[in-house]
Amino acid sequence: MTTTNLSHSRSVPTRRRFLGHLGALGGSSLVMTALSSWDLMAGPAGTRPVLSGRPRNAKVLILGAGISGLALGYELSRLGYDFHVLEARDRVGGLVWTVHGGTTHTEIGGEHQQCTWDEGLWLNAGAWRIPYTHTGVLNYCKELGVPLEIFVNEADASYFYREGADAGSLANTRVRLGEVKADIVGQVNELLVKAIDQHSLDLPLTAEDQERLVGFLVAQGYLDRKDRRYRAFADRGPGDPYQLSALLKAGFGDRLRSISPRDGITTAPMFHPVGGMEQIPKAFARAIGPSRITFNAEVHSVRQDDHAATVAYRDTKTGRTRTLTADYVVVCLPLSIVAGLDCQLSAEMMAAVRATTYSNSAKAGLGMKRRFWEEDDQIFGGHLYSNLPIGEFSYPSTGYFSRKGVLLGFYLHSGPAVTLMDRPIGERVEHVLTHSSKVHPQMRREFESAYCVWWRKVEYSRGGFANAAPLARRAQLSKFENRLLIGSAATAPHSEPDWQEGAIAAAWQALTSLHEHAMRS
Ligand SMILES: Cc1cc2nc3c(=O)[nH]c(=O)nc-3n(C[C@H](O)[C@H](O)[C@H](O)COP(=O)(O)OP(=O)(O)OC[C@H]3O[C@@H](n4cnc5c(N)ncnc54)[C@H](O)[C@@H]3O)c2cc1C
């Protein structure tokens, strides 16, 4: 995309005005060409700002090289700004963190881990999947040359497993997703066809339409064409169908839909970058250029007056404190960190910062000597749907048919298992092995080594993703305060902040606001 200065004034052309201008010149086909060539049809992050003009004296400091800080830096570089990014860690990405052999971290409170998986094995400890609707992040992948592959969010061979009296007769039984789908749809359709045949439904359909409906139900529900009964069939797997009442009692029907009413976790297809989610922040960093980012720069104070903003940071390698000044500072840090900084923001802003909460997310990657879920169970990607106290348990969507693999053994944010946060890592791993062995008895035999990430215990995050805030708080967080602006995912205006798409929405909002301000000054 090239930046076109359509306006001779210093005002910033909005995207709508820009497209209107193209339309006036070349009609709607020119507008559509512009849209498809940018691939910028609005997604949950809204539309990417189309800005032009270059302010004369606008030096910008971006605090934090997570997705929000990097997307902002990338857009500022395209507008020709003088900017610099300060990042406390020795890597980019923040919550976008791919764990490999050699990765280390020390939890707040003590325990140190070193990942020992073989080369080529990895786990995305934070962001791990991108719904196809997240056009903001997907378009950056395209623009920055980040290869994507399908993230398998559903595999028919994977299991449902529920324990406890509430699960009824199917408690403690592994039932394949494919069997659940066939048996529920088959039996529901059989009931519907019976009711139509018996004229017990008051249908607003002609006789011909009813016949078509019955034809659809028979085909979709795998019903016998003659007697219209549902029976198990070869491709469903061996054994008799499970009773509809038992499947419903066990709650197995609740994952049988792909269009999510809210945040897209059940959407298909989903994507992930080849080689791990870290490829996205790394690509942003390459595009921005290494000289624009200072690593190991732990910011501890942000002050401002009418002339400049001053940031003080500690170089964590040398222990020395340094200061930098700029015309503007955009704070792309987790607000859980901002709350503890010496930050010259108004009392209202700091109250909104402190009121923002972050998820208590944790993941455990289990390195396995053998891909038994593929070899023994024919499960290729997807998840285990269980009520075991391990949250989400998932199979890798990569490296199929190779020897070893990494299972996501534990991914949760709430529930009784969060008490594990205060337990030694060995105990957390033992917990995962004990529970997951109920479904996969091979777990202990094939287990090699684990890596656990509890985001509240990770320095420079101190929490998982930002929880959605009420509109009024988001409006407060997005206010420009003299020379300071917040730009991390918690301020996302359109989409939920618990996705990278939210971080991009927040970066775009900060970008527009900053550019308007800088062009006026
Ligand atoms: C467990 C989990 C699962 C997720 N799953 C998905 C998913 O599947 N798909 C998806 O799209 N999104 C997912 N997300 C959400 C996504 O990761 C976040 O919304 C997004 O990465 C937030 O980006 P950010 O730039 O706002 O913040 P961050 O990533 O938190 O970046 C902030 C940066 O500031 C730096 N920093 C902190 N303190 C200082 C300091 N004092 N000085 C200097 N720098 C500092 C940090 O090191 C970090 O680099 C998930 C998040 C989690 C935790």
pLDDT of residue 29: 36
* Residues above pLDDT 90, as percent of the chain: 82
Sequence ranges of the domains in the chain = 1-38, 41-92+278-357+469-520, 98-126+359-457, 175-255
| Residue pointed to by tokens 């609740």 | 254
Q: How much distance in Å is there from the Cα of 87 to the middle of ligand 1?
A: 12
Q: Which atom of ligand 1 is nearest to the CA of 92?
A: 49
Condensed to tens digits (0 to 9), the pLDDT of residues 290-299 reads 999 999 999 9
Q: Which residues pair with 175 in a beta bridge?
A: 160
Measured from the Cα of 464, ligand 1's closest atom is: 53
Question: Percent of the chain scored above 70 by pLDDT?
Answer: 90
Task: Band the pLDDT of 3: cuts 50, 70, 90.
Answer: very low
Q: Which of 497, 492, 521 is nearest to 509 (CA)?
A: 492
Distance CA 272, CA 152 (A): 9
Kindly report the average pLDDT of the chain as a whole number.
Answer: 90
* Domain 98-126+359-457 in CATH 3.30.1360.120: no
Ligand 1 centre and the CA of 96: distance in Å?
A: 6
d(CA 400, CA 346): 53
pLDDT tens column, 377-431: 999 999 999 999 999 999 999 999 999 999 999 999 998 889 999 999 999 999 9
CATH number, domain 41-92+278-357+469-520: 3.50.50.60
Averaged over 495-509, what is the pLDDT?
93
Q: 89: CA distance to ligand 1 center in Å? A: 12
List CB contacts of 458: < 8 A, sequence separation 6 or more.
Answer: 105, 107, 108
Q: How many whole angstroms from 199 Cα to the centroid of ligand 1? A: 57
Which residue, judged by its Cα, is nearest atom 48 of ligand 1? 94
Residue 54 pLDDT: 87
Instruction: Quick: pLDDT tens for 131-149.
Output: 999 999 999 999 999 999 9
Q: Which CATH architecture has domain 175-255?
A: Up-down Bundle (1.20)
CA gap 285, 307 in Å, rounded: 30
For residue 298, which atom of ligand 1 is closest to its CA? 42
**Do residues 487 and 72 lie in contact, with contact meaning Cβ atoms separated by under 8 Å?**
yes
Atom of ligand 1 nearest to the CA of 134: 11
Please write the tens of the pLDDT for every residue from 180-233: 999 999 999 999 999 999 999 888 999 999 999 999 999 999 999 999 999 999
The residue written with tokens 């592959």 in the block is 149
495 vs 448, higher pLDDT: 448
Q: From the alpha carbon of 501, which atom of ligand 1 is closest? A: 11
Site residues for ligand 1, CB cut-off 6 Å: 63-69, 86-89, 94-96, 126-130, 297-299, 332-334, 337, 361, 363, 455, 460-461, 464-465, 488-489, 497-503
Answer yes or no: is pLDDT of 331 > 70. Answer: yes
Ligand 1, atom 12: nearest CA belongs to which residue? 499
* Distance from residue 66's CA to the centre of ligand 1 (Å): 5
Nearest CA to ligand 1 atom 37: 460
3-state secondary structure of 228: coil
Ligand 1 mean position to 3 CA, how many Å?
29
Residue 261: pLDDT band (50, 70, 90) is low
